[in-house]
Amino acid sequence: MKQSRNTIAKTEIISLITKSDVALSHSEIQFMLDGLCDRVTIYRVLDRLVEEGYVHKVTTIDGVVKYASCNSCSANHNHSHIHFSCKKCKAVTCIVDVQPSFSLPSNYKISEVNFIISGLCPECS
């Protein structure tokens, strides 16, 4: 049975994100795919993977959206762990063994949480 190009793209994108130690941006994924599919297909696949809970997206302090595997995310796709953004190498990593905490006044309703800490990663320190 012949796989569609979209299925091949989805499989390759999942593989890239799963094997990466850092979150990947759309442009990084596009570069790594080396012409396998166009940029619009990559956006569609990434949106689908987020919706299906395979990956989560992180918006960096610079406004760049990056994608990371959901290995440690909760069953309801809660991604409220800390993300560390290195100011030097620009790598974004999920820090899952530290749980952030905060409190808001009771009249606020949370729909999404994005914890970004920036500084120097161990490689750049």
Cα–Cα distance between 74 and 24 in angstroms, integer?
A: 21
pLDDT at 2: 44
49 vs 115, residue with greater confidence: 49
Average pLDDT over residues 10-25: 94
pLDDT at 6: 60
Cα–Cα distance between 61 and 121 in angstroms, integer?
A: 15
Sorted by sequence, the CB contacts under 8 Å of residue 6 that are 6+ apart come out as 37, 41, 44, 45
